[in-house]
Amino acid sequence: MTSTPLPVAVLGAAGRMGREACRAVEDAADLELVASIGRGDDLEAVAEAGAQVVVDLTVPSAAKGNVLWAIEHGMHAVVGTTGWDEQSLGEVRSALAGAPGLGVLIAPNFAIGAVLAMRFAEIAARYYESAEIVELHHPAKVDAPSGTARHTAGAIARGRAAAGLGPVPDATEQDPDGARGAVVDGIHVHAVRLRGLVAHEEVLFGGTGEQFTLRHDSFDRVSFMPGVLLGIREVSRHPGLTVGLDGYMDLG
Ligand code: NAP
């Protein structure tokens, strides 16, 4: 028995991620790409095309408005665009409260290995006195630190709190130029922007006489597509807001 393909719209379709996502949806037999939207295109085309899932791969300034629009029009949303803050997430939660049955996935990283690295980081964090994150990306990335690094820092902070660990040791007294990086949830995060890179992250753990490093590399945007497709296929089964693809994976 064959079932009707799920109608999907991609916003940001002309971008690097959007182009890849359009290809991945077109290549999937159980999905149908019904709308490809770029900057300046009318979102009404998405509703007219009958999309049930909207994939947002645009820019931080547009993503929230797109998601609220999708909810208002009864569509699930799968979001890869980064740069979300608590206030914007709260607005999405409020909108979803009035739309039972609709799901929104906001995934700071669709690469399965990066999701695993975040989970492993939370586990490792319990056992090491020191932890720092280095995220490395292409120079066209507009936000820093990366959404993945923020979420990894949050995971490390949770792991440390569960183990009763205090602040990471750091005797720095003077740092007028910010050489110690940003501090997210108590964890130092360093952002590198380098031509030739795509998306990479290193999580460094230090204990007396020991270092443990977790590293994930996305060499090509195609690495994000299994996660994007998983999100599209699963979003209707997860009503409400889910932040992080791990919410759709059975990681124990
Ligand atoms: P990009 O190449 O700059 O693509 C963004 C596209 O969105 C551009 O074509 C842009 O058009 C278009 N756009 C801007 N506003 C729009 C709107 N209101 N409606 C429709 N399209 C709009 O960026 P990218 O590398 O593809 O990344 C896109 C987003 O995904 C970024 O936030 C990035 O950080 C994130 N990202 C997430 C993951 C993940 O795994 N979650 C992985 C990689 C990247 P113009 O060129 O005309 O501005």
Judge if 118 and 215 occupy the same domain.
yes
- Tell me the two tokens of residue 155: 């995971």
Q: Is the dihedral of CA 11, 60, 112, 195 positive or negative?
A: positive
Q: State the amino acid at position 66 in one-letter form.
A: N
Mean pLDDT, range 92-99, rounded to an integer: 98
- CATH of residue 69's domain is 3.40.50.720
Mean residue pLDDT of the chain comes to 96
Tell me which of 1-5, 99-103, 217-221 is least confident: 1-5
Judge if 88 and 36 occupy the same domain.
yes
Does residue 149's CB lie within 6 angstroms of at least one atom of ligand 1? no
Judge if 230 and 210 occupy the same domain.
no
- Tell me the two tokens of residue 44: 């009404």
Residue 252: predicted pLDDT = 77
Judge if 40 and 101 occupy the same domain.
yes
Judge if 118 and 211 occupy the same domain.
yes
- The answer as to whether 45 is a domain residue is yes
Structural domain for 83, as ranges: 6-106+222-248
By alpha-carbon position, which residue is closest to atom 34 of ligand 1?
82
Judge if 128 and 205 occupy the same domain.
yes
Residue 4: predicted pLDDT = 95
**Is a pLDDT exceeding 80 seen at residue 210?**
yes
Judge if 122 and 102 occupy the same domain.
no
Judge if 120 and 205 occupy the same domain.
yes
Domain count, the chain: 2
For 1-13, b where at least 16 C-beta lie within 10 A, e where not — what string? eeeeebbbbbbbb
| Contacting residues for 137 by C-beta, under 8 A, at least 6 apart | 146, 191, 192, 193, 194, 197, 198, 199, 200
Mean pLDDT, range 80-105, rounded to an integer: 96
Between 132 and 250, where is the model more confident? 132
- The answer as to whether 150 is a domain residue is yes
Q: How far is the CA of 81 from the centre of ligand 1 (A)?
A: 7
Judge if 229 and 150 occupy the same domain.
no
Residue 12: predicted pLDDT = 98
Residue 177: predicted pLDDT = 97
Judge if 178 and 117 occupy the same domain.
yes
Whether 16 has a binding-site annotation, put simply, is yes
- The answer as to whether 1 is a domain residue is no
Judge if 116 and 210 occupy the same domain.
yes
Contact (CB, 8 A) for 237 and 109: no
- The answer as to whether 124 is a domain residue is yes
- CATH of residue 141's domain is 3.30.360.10
pLDDT in tens, 43-85: 999 999 999 999 999 999 999 999 999 999 999 999 999 889 9
Whether 15 has a binding-site annotation, put simply, is yes
Mean pLDDT, range 118-124, rounded to an integer: 97
Mean pLDDT, range 179-184, rounded to an integer: 98
